[in-house]
Structure 1
Protein backbone atom coordinates (compact mmCIF):
# COMPACT_ATOMS: atom_id res chain seq x y z
CA UNK A 1 0.00 0.00 0.00
CA UNK A 2 1.33 3.43 -0.96
CA UNK A 3 2.22 6.01 1.68
CA UNK A 4 -0.03 9.07 1.42
CA UNK A 5 1.85 12.36 1.45
CA UNK A 6 0.90 16.02 1.72
CA UNK A 7 3.43 18.62 0.53
CA UNK A 8 3.47 22.11 2.04
CA UNK A 9 5.80 24.57 0.31
CA UNK A 10 5.26 28.08 -1.01
CA UNK A 11 7.03 27.36 -4.32
CA UNK A 12 4.84 25.56 -6.87
CA UNK A 13 7.86 24.30 -8.82
CA UNK A 14 9.23 22.59 -5.71
CA UNK A 15 5.86 20.99 -4.98
CA UNK A 16 5.57 19.76 -8.56
CA UNK A 17 9.15 18.47 -8.58
CA UNK A 18 8.69 16.62 -5.31
CA UNK A 19 5.40 15.11 -6.49
CA UNK A 20 6.98 13.79 -9.70
CA UNK A 21 9.99 12.46 -7.82
CA UNK A 22 8.12 10.77 -4.99
CA UNK A 23 5.44 9.15 -7.16
CA UNK A 24 7.98 7.71 -9.59
CA UNK A 25 8.05 4.20 -8.08
CA UNK A 26 4.40 3.97 -7.08
CA UNK A 27 5.08 3.41 -3.37
CA UNK A 28 4.30 7.01 -2.42
CA UNK A 29 1.20 9.00 -3.38
CA UNK A 30 0.82 12.77 -3.02
CA UNK A 31 -2.81 13.30 -2.02
CA UNK A 32 -2.66 17.05 -1.31
CA UNK A 33 -0.54 20.17 -1.65
CA UNK A 34 -0.53 23.44 0.29
CA UNK A 35 1.17 26.73 -0.53
CA UNK A 36 1.53 28.11 3.00
CA UNK A 37 0.93 27.27 6.64
CA UNK A 38 -2.67 28.47 6.76
CA UNK A 39 -3.50 26.51 3.62
CA UNK A 40 -1.85 23.45 5.16
CA UNK A 41 -3.91 23.55 8.36
CA UNK A 42 -7.09 24.13 6.35
CA UNK A 43 -6.46 21.17 4.04
CA UNK A 44 -5.60 18.88 6.94
CA UNK A 45 -9.26 19.20 7.93
CA UNK A 46 -10.12 17.33 4.72
CA UNK A 47 -7.09 15.20 3.90
CA UNK A 48 -5.49 12.57 6.12
CA UNK A 49 -1.89 12.07 4.92
CA UNK A 50 0.39 9.52 6.55
CA UNK A 51 3.28 11.99 6.34
CA UNK A 52 3.28 15.78 6.00
CA UNK A 53 6.27 17.30 4.18
CA UNK A 54 6.64 20.77 5.66
CA UNK A 55 8.83 23.71 4.64
CA UNK A 56 9.89 26.27 7.28
CA UNK A 57 10.04 29.59 5.43
CA UNK A 58 6.55 30.36 4.14
CA UNK A 59 4.26 33.42 4.03
CA UNK A 60 1.25 33.91 6.32
CA UNK A 61 2.28 31.10 8.67
CA UNK A 62 5.72 29.48 8.73
CA UNK A 63 6.50 25.84 9.33
CA UNK A 64 7.36 26.25 13.01
CA UNK A 65 4.00 27.96 13.59
CA UNK A 66 2.28 25.08 11.80
CA UNK A 67 4.07 22.61 14.09
CA UNK A 68 2.84 24.51 17.16
CA UNK A 69 -0.72 24.56 15.79
CA UNK A 70 -0.62 20.82 15.09
CA UNK A 71 0.65 20.20 18.61
CA UNK A 72 -2.18 22.29 20.07
CA UNK A 73 -4.66 20.30 17.99
CA UNK A 74 -3.06 17.05 19.19
CA UNK A 75 -2.76 16.06 15.53
CA UNK A 76 -1.58 12.52 14.79
CA UNK A 77 -0.03 13.37 11.41
CA UNK A 78 3.66 12.54 11.13
CA UNK A 79 5.73 15.57 10.11
CA UNK A 80 8.90 15.60 8.03
CA UNK A 81 10.47 19.06 7.86
CA UNK A 82 12.03 19.56 4.42
CA UNK A 83 14.03 22.77 4.38
CA UNK A 84 17.11 24.64 3.17
CA UNK A 85 18.02 25.51 6.76
CA UNK A 86 20.98 23.49 7.98
CA UNK A 87 21.48 25.78 10.98
CA UNK A 88 21.16 23.90 14.26
CA UNK A 89 18.96 26.70 15.61
CA UNK A 90 16.07 25.75 13.30
CA UNK A 91 16.53 22.03 13.90
CA UNK A 92 16.51 22.55 17.68
CA UNK A 93 13.34 24.65 17.51
CA UNK A 94 11.61 22.02 15.39
CA UNK A 95 12.74 19.19 17.68
CA UNK A 96 11.59 21.11 20.77
CA UNK A 97 8.12 21.64 19.28
CA UNK A 98 7.90 18.06 18.05
CA UNK A 99 8.73 16.54 14.67
CA UNK A 100 9.20 13.07 13.24
CA UNK A 101 11.96 13.99 10.82
CA UNK A 102 14.20 16.72 9.44
CA UNK A 103 15.84 16.60 5.99
CA UNK A 104 17.52 19.26 3.86
CA UNK A 105 16.18 20.08 0.41
CA UNK A 106 19.54 19.38 -1.20
CA UNK A 107 19.56 15.78 0.04
CA UNK A 108 19.51 12.89 -2.41
CA UNK A 109 16.11 11.49 -3.42
CA UNK A 110 17.04 8.17 -1.83
CA UNK A 111 17.55 9.86 1.53
CA UNK A 112 14.25 11.72 1.29
CA UNK A 113 12.39 8.50 0.53
CA UNK A 114 14.22 6.71 3.34
CA UNK A 115 13.10 9.46 5.72
CA UNK A 116 9.49 9.14 4.58
CA UNK A 117 9.43 5.35 4.96
CA UNK A 118 11.15 5.54 8.35
CA UNK A 119 8.66 8.09 9.64
CA UNK A 120 5.68 6.19 8.22
CA UNK A 121 6.89 3.17 10.22
CA UNK A 122 6.71 5.20 13.41
CA UNK A 123 10.41 5.98 13.77
CA UNK A 124 12.27 9.30 13.79
CA UNK A 125 14.64 10.36 11.02
CA UNK A 126 17.17 13.19 11.27
CA UNK A 127 19.52 13.67 8.32
CA UNK A 128 22.79 12.02 9.48
CA UNK A 129 24.96 15.01 8.57
CA UNK A 130 23.00 17.14 11.08
CA UNK A 131 23.21 14.75 14.04
CA UNK A 132 26.69 15.73 15.39
CA UNK A 133 25.71 19.42 15.61
CA UNK A 134 22.35 18.48 17.14
CA UNK A 135 24.01 16.32 19.80
CA UNK A 136 26.44 19.11 20.64
CA UNK A 137 23.58 21.60 20.93
CA UNK A 138 21.57 19.23 23.12
CA UNK A 139 24.53 18.79 25.47
CA UNK A 140 24.92 22.57 25.71
CA UNK A 141 21.19 22.95 26.32
CA UNK A 142 21.28 20.41 29.16
CA UNK A 143 24.29 22.15 30.72
CA UNK A 144 22.57 25.53 30.43
CA UNK A 145 19.42 24.17 32.08
CA UNK A 146 21.46 22.99 35.07
CA UNK A 147 23.02 26.45 35.36
CA UNK A 148 19.61 28.13 35.17
CA UNK A 149 18.25 25.81 37.86
CA UNK A 150 21.13 26.89 40.12
CA UNK A 151 20.03 30.53 40.03
CA UNK A 152 17.82 31.83 42.81
CA UNK A 153 14.63 33.71 41.95
CA UNK A 154 16.33 36.99 42.89
CA UNK A 155 19.40 36.21 40.77
CA UNK A 156 17.16 35.46 37.80
CA UNK A 157 15.49 38.85 38.22
CA UNK A 158 18.89 40.58 38.33
CA UNK A 159 20.07 38.63 35.27
CA UNK A 160 17.05 39.77 33.26
CA UNK A 161 17.62 43.42 34.19
CA UNK A 162 21.37 43.22 33.59
CA UNK A 163 20.96 41.44 30.25
CA UNK A 164 18.89 44.30 28.82
CA UNK A 165 21.67 46.76 29.64
CA UNK A 166 20.58 48.29 32.94
CA UNK A 167 23.25 49.66 35.28
CA UNK A 168 23.59 48.46 38.87
CA UNK A 169 22.02 51.62 40.27
CA UNK A 170 19.00 51.21 37.98
CA UNK A 171 18.62 47.56 38.95
CA UNK A 172 18.87 48.48 42.63
CA UNK A 173 16.19 51.13 42.24
CA UNK A 174 13.92 48.83 40.23
CA UNK A 175 14.23 45.97 42.71
CA UNK A 176 14.34 48.19 45.83
CA UNK A 177 17.66 46.78 47.03
CA UNK A 178 21.11 48.29 47.58
CA UNK A 179 23.77 48.50 44.86
CA UNK A 180 26.02 46.32 47.03
CA UNK A 181 23.36 43.61 47.03
CA UNK A 182 23.08 43.90 43.25
CA UNK A 183 26.85 43.48 42.93
CA UNK A 184 26.75 40.41 45.16
CA UNK A 185 23.97 38.91 43.05
CA UNK A 186 25.92 39.61 39.85
CA UNK A 187 29.07 37.97 41.24
CA UNK A 188 27.02 34.90 42.12
CA UNK A 189 25.39 34.88 38.67
CA UNK A 190 28.78 35.03 36.93
CA UNK A 191 30.03 32.11 39.01
CA UNK A 192 26.96 29.93 38.44
CA UNK A 193 26.76 30.64 34.70
CA UNK A 194 30.55 30.32 34.33
CA UNK A 195 30.85 33.69 32.59
CA UNK A 196 33.23 36.57 33.24
CA UNK A 197 31.32 39.69 32.22
CA UNK A 198 27.89 41.21 31.60
CA UNK A 199 28.05 40.65 27.84
CA UNK A 200 28.57 36.90 28.25
CA UNK A 201 25.73 36.80 30.77
CA UNK A 202 23.47 38.64 28.30
CA UNK A 203 24.38 36.19 25.52
CA UNK A 204 23.51 33.30 27.86
CA UNK A 205 20.16 34.92 28.68
CA UNK A 206 19.32 35.45 25.00
CA UNK A 207 20.42 31.94 24.00
CA UNK A 208 18.14 30.42 26.62
CA UNK A 209 15.17 32.76 25.97
CA UNK A 210 15.45 34.31 29.42
CA UNK A 211 15.05 37.63 27.63
CA UNK A 212 13.67 38.27 24.17
CA UNK A 213 15.29 40.53 21.58
CA UNK A 214 13.41 42.06 18.67
Structure 2
Protein backbone atom coordinates (compact mmCIF):
# COMPACT_ATOMS: atom_id res chain seq x y z
CA UNK A 1 0.00 0.00 0.00
CA UNK A 2 1.24 3.47 -0.92
CA UNK A 3 1.58 5.39 2.30
CA UNK A 4 3.04 8.51 0.76
CA UNK A 5 1.19 11.78 1.31
CA UNK A 6 0.38 13.11 -2.15
CA UNK A 7 0.88 16.86 -2.32
CA UNK A 8 -0.07 19.30 -5.08
CA UNK A 9 1.49 22.76 -5.11
CA UNK A 10 0.01 25.94 -6.59
CA UNK A 11 2.49 28.81 -6.34
CA UNK A 12 3.36 31.47 -8.93
CA UNK A 13 6.79 32.43 -7.58
CA UNK A 14 9.18 30.16 -9.53
CA UNK A 15 12.02 30.25 -7.00
CA UNK A 16 9.78 29.58 -4.01
CA UNK A 17 7.88 26.88 -5.90
CA UNK A 18 11.13 25.16 -6.84
CA UNK A 19 12.34 25.26 -3.24
CA UNK A 20 9.12 23.73 -1.94
CA UNK A 21 9.14 21.11 -4.69
CA UNK A 22 12.68 20.05 -3.79
CA UNK A 23 11.79 19.84 -0.09
CA UNK A 24 8.73 17.70 -0.82
CA UNK A 25 10.65 15.41 -3.15
CA UNK A 26 13.34 14.89 -0.50
CA UNK A 27 10.83 14.02 2.24
CA UNK A 28 10.56 10.20 2.32
CA UNK A 29 6.86 9.92 3.14
CA UNK A 30 5.65 12.60 0.73
CA UNK A 31 5.12 12.65 -3.01
CA UNK A 32 4.81 15.77 -5.16
CA UNK A 33 2.07 14.94 -7.66
CA UNK A 34 1.87 18.30 -9.37
CA UNK A 35 3.18 21.85 -9.27
CA UNK A 36 1.45 24.74 -11.01
CA UNK A 37 1.85 28.49 -11.36
CA UNK A 38 -1.89 29.18 -11.58
CA UNK A 39 -5.06 27.74 -10.08
CA UNK A 40 -6.63 27.27 -13.51
CA UNK A 41 -3.81 24.92 -14.55
CA UNK A 42 -4.16 22.87 -11.37
CA UNK A 43 -7.94 22.60 -11.76
CA UNK A 44 -7.58 21.49 -15.37
CA UNK A 45 -5.12 18.81 -14.30
CA UNK A 46 -7.57 17.51 -11.68
CA UNK A 47 -10.36 17.45 -14.22
CA UNK A 48 -8.25 15.40 -16.61
CA UNK A 49 -6.86 12.93 -14.06
CA UNK A 50 -8.53 10.49 -11.67
CA UNK A 51 -5.95 10.58 -8.87
CA UNK A 52 -6.54 13.06 -6.08
CA UNK A 53 -3.84 14.75 -4.02
CA UNK A 54 -4.16 14.34 -0.27
CA UNK A 55 -2.98 17.90 0.35
CA UNK A 56 -3.16 21.03 -1.78
CA UNK A 57 -0.68 23.78 -0.87
CA UNK A 58 -2.32 26.93 -2.22
CA UNK A 59 -0.99 30.46 -2.49
CA UNK A 60 -3.54 33.29 -2.39
CA UNK A 61 -1.88 35.88 -4.63
CA UNK A 62 -2.05 34.11 -7.97
CA UNK A 63 -2.39 35.38 -11.54
CA UNK A 64 -5.88 34.98 -12.97
CA UNK A 65 -8.08 33.16 -10.46
CA UNK A 66 -6.93 34.04 -6.96
CA UNK A 67 -6.33 31.47 -4.26
CA UNK A 68 -9.48 32.57 -2.42
CA UNK A 69 -11.57 32.30 -5.60
CA UNK A 70 -10.19 28.84 -6.32
CA UNK A 71 -10.95 27.22 -2.95
CA UNK A 72 -14.58 26.58 -3.90
CA UNK A 73 -13.79 25.02 -7.30
CA UNK A 74 -11.02 22.89 -5.76
CA UNK A 75 -13.35 21.65 -3.02
CA UNK A 76 -16.05 20.89 -5.58
CA UNK A 77 -13.65 19.04 -7.88
CA UNK A 78 -11.85 17.11 -5.11
CA UNK A 79 -13.80 17.35 -1.82
CA UNK A 80 -11.52 14.79 -0.21
CA UNK A 81 -8.40 16.91 -0.80
CA UNK A 82 -7.42 19.06 2.18
CA UNK A 83 -6.29 22.60 1.46
CA UNK A 84 -3.50 24.39 3.28
CA UNK A 85 -3.11 28.07 2.46
CA UNK A 86 0.55 29.04 2.21
CA UNK A 87 0.85 32.77 1.67
CA UNK A 88 2.44 36.06 2.65
CA UNK A 89 -0.94 37.59 3.47
CA UNK A 90 -1.93 38.04 7.09
CA UNK A 91 -4.89 40.25 6.18
CA UNK A 92 -8.00 39.64 8.26
CA UNK A 93 -10.31 39.27 5.27
CA UNK A 94 -8.05 36.65 3.66
CA UNK A 95 -7.65 34.63 6.86
CA UNK A 96 -11.35 34.61 7.72
CA UNK A 97 -12.51 34.04 4.15
CA UNK A 98 -10.14 31.14 3.51
CA UNK A 99 -10.99 29.34 6.74
CA UNK A 100 -14.71 29.94 6.25
CA UNK A 101 -14.49 28.36 2.79
CA UNK A 102 -13.01 25.22 4.31
CA UNK A 103 -9.22 25.51 4.30
CA UNK A 104 -7.72 23.08 6.83
CA UNK A 105 -4.70 25.25 7.47
CA UNK A 106 -3.43 28.80 7.08
CA UNK A 107 0.34 29.27 7.13
CA UNK A 108 2.58 32.18 6.30
CA UNK A 109 5.57 31.76 4.01
CA UNK A 110 7.84 32.55 6.91
CA UNK A 111 7.04 29.03 8.18
CA UNK A 112 10.17 26.85 8.18
CA UNK A 113 10.35 23.90 5.81
CA UNK A 114 10.56 21.43 8.69
CA UNK A 115 7.48 22.97 10.34
CA UNK A 116 5.64 22.92 7.02
CA UNK A 117 6.31 19.20 6.62
CA UNK A 118 4.99 18.60 10.14
CA UNK A 119 1.92 20.69 9.38
CA UNK A 120 1.22 18.72 6.21
CA UNK A 121 1.34 15.49 8.22
CA UNK A 122 -0.91 17.04 10.86
CA UNK A 123 -3.59 18.00 8.33
CA UNK A 124 -3.28 14.69 6.50
CA UNK A 125 -3.91 12.96 9.82
CA UNK A 126 -7.20 14.78 10.27
CA UNK A 127 -6.04 17.83 12.17
CA UNK A 128 -5.70 21.48 11.30
CA UNK A 129 -2.81 23.90 11.40
CA UNK A 130 -2.67 27.61 11.98
CA UNK A 131 0.32 29.92 11.96
CA UNK A 132 0.83 31.25 15.51
CA UNK A 133 0.83 34.88 14.36
CA UNK A 134 -2.35 34.27 12.38
CA UNK A 135 -3.98 32.66 15.42
CA UNK A 136 -3.23 35.73 17.54
CA UNK A 137 -4.44 37.98 14.76
CA UNK A 138 -7.78 36.17 14.67
CA UNK A 139 -8.17 36.55 18.42
CA UNK A 140 -7.32 40.24 18.30
CA UNK A 141 -9.69 40.80 15.37
CA UNK A 142 -12.69 38.94 16.74
CA UNK A 143 -12.74 39.49 20.47
CA UNK A 144 -14.86 42.65 20.16
CA UNK A 145 -17.46 41.00 17.94
CA UNK A 146 -20.78 40.26 19.56
CA UNK A 147 -22.08 36.70 19.45
CA UNK A 148 -24.63 34.31 20.79
CA UNK A 149 -24.05 31.84 23.58
CA UNK A 150 -23.16 28.42 22.30
CA UNK A 151 -26.04 26.12 23.16
CA UNK A 152 -25.25 22.69 24.55
CA UNK A 153 -21.54 22.93 23.72
CA UNK A 154 -20.65 21.20 27.01
CA UNK A 155 -16.92 21.15 26.35
CA UNK A 156 -15.12 18.84 28.72
CA UNK A 157 -12.15 20.06 30.74
CA UNK A 158 -9.77 18.29 28.37
CA UNK A 159 -11.52 19.67 25.28
CA UNK A 160 -11.35 23.19 26.68
CA UNK A 161 -7.67 22.66 27.44
CA UNK A 162 -6.99 21.55 23.87
CA UNK A 163 -9.01 24.42 22.39
CA UNK A 164 -6.96 26.83 24.49
CA UNK A 165 -3.74 25.36 23.11
CA UNK A 166 -5.11 25.67 19.57
CA UNK A 167 -5.82 29.33 20.29
CA UNK A 168 -2.20 29.68 21.40
CA UNK A 169 -1.13 28.49 17.94
CA UNK A 170 -0.02 24.95 18.79
CA UNK A 171 -0.47 22.20 16.19
CA UNK A 172 -1.56 18.66 16.97
CA UNK A 173 1.94 17.27 17.47
CA UNK A 174 2.78 20.03 19.94
CA UNK A 175 -0.52 19.58 21.79
CA UNK A 176 0.11 15.85 22.13
CA UNK A 177 3.56 16.54 23.56
CA UNK A 178 2.28 19.25 25.91
CA UNK A 179 -0.48 17.04 27.32
CA UNK A 180 1.49 13.79 27.08
CA UNK A 181 -1.18 12.02 25.05
CA UNK A 182 -1.11 10.47 21.58
CA UNK A 183 -1.65 12.55 18.46
CA UNK A 184 -4.56 10.25 17.59
CA UNK A 185 -6.24 11.12 20.89
CA UNK A 186 -5.73 14.81 20.17
CA UNK A 187 -7.33 14.36 16.73
CA UNK A 188 -10.38 12.72 18.30
CA UNK A 189 -10.75 15.49 20.87
CA UNK A 190 -10.50 18.13 18.14
CA UNK A 191 -13.22 16.43 16.12
CA UNK A 192 -15.46 16.40 19.18
CA UNK A 193 -14.80 20.11 19.76
CA UNK A 194 -15.78 20.94 16.17
CA UNK A 195 -18.95 18.85 16.47
CA UNK A 196 -20.00 20.48 19.74
CA UNK A 197 -19.30 24.02 18.50
CA UNK A 198 -20.70 23.25 15.04
CA UNK A 199 -17.66 24.66 13.25
CA UNK A 200 -15.51 23.34 10.38
CA UNK A 201 -11.99 24.22 11.53
CA UNK A 202 -9.66 25.65 14.18
CA UNK A 203 -10.01 29.38 13.41
CA UNK A 204 -13.80 29.10 13.48
CA UNK A 205 -13.64 27.17 16.78
CA UNK A 206 -11.42 29.79 18.41
CA UNK A 207 -13.56 32.65 17.07
CA UNK A 208 -16.75 31.04 18.36
CA UNK A 209 -15.18 30.39 21.75
CA UNK A 210 -14.44 34.09 22.13
CA UNK A 211 -17.67 35.35 20.63
CA UNK A 212 -19.82 33.05 22.77
CA UNK A 213 -18.02 33.65 26.04
CA UNK A 214 -16.35 30.24 26.38
CA UNK A 215 -13.09 32.19 26.42
CA UNK A 216 -12.81 35.51 28.26
CA UNK A 217 -12.04 38.51 26.01
CA UNK A 218 -8.29 38.98 25.45
CA UNK A 219 -6.77 41.77 27.52
Using the size of structure 2 for normalisation, the TM-score is 0.61
> In structure 2, the residue corresponding to 1:44 is in which secondary structure?
helix
> In structure 1, the residue corresponding to 2:143 is in which secondary structure?
helix
CA distance in 1, matches of 2:97, 2:35: 24
Q: State yes or no: 1:103 paired with 2:117.
A: no
> In structure 2, the residue corresponding to 1:93 is in which secondary structure?
helix
Q: State yes or no: 1:88 paired with 2:104.
A: no
Q: Provide the residue aligned with 2:140 in structure 1.
A: 136
In structure 2, stretches of 5+ residues that fail to align are: 149-219
> Among residues 43, 46, 51, which one is paired with 1:44 in the alignment?
46
> Among residues 57, 60, 63, which one is paired with 2:61 in the alignment?
57
CA RMSD of aligned residues (A): 1.8
The structure richer in helix per residue is 1
Deviation at 1:74, TM superposition (A): 6.5
CA distance in 2, matches of 1:43, 1:37: 10
Q: Is the 8 A contact 1:79 1:101 kept in 2?
A: yes
Q: State yes or no: 1:127 paired with 2:131.
A: yes
Using the size of structure 1 for normalisation, the TM-score is 0.62
Q: Provide the residue aligned with 1:155 in structure 2.
A: none
Q: Provide the residue aligned with 1:150 in structure 2.
A: none
Q: Is the 8 A contact 1:34 1:43 kept in 2?
A: no
Q: How many residues align?
A: 144
**Residues 40 and 93 (structure 1 numbering): CA distance in 2 closer, same or farther, change over 3 Å?**
same
Q: Provide the residue aligned with 1:15 in structure 2.
A: 17
In structure 1, stretches of 5+ residues that fail to align are: 147-214
Larger RCO, structures 1/2 (Cα 8 Å, 6+ apart): 2
Which structure's CA Rg is the greater one? 1
CA distance in 2, matches of 1:62, 1:6: 16
Deviation at 1:72, TM superposition (A): 4.3
CA distance in 2, matches of 1:138, 1:68: 24
Q: Provide the residue aligned with 1:75 in structure 2.
A: 79
> In structure 1, the residue corresponding to 2:27 is in which secondary structure?
coil
CA distance in 2, matches of 1:89, 1:50: 26
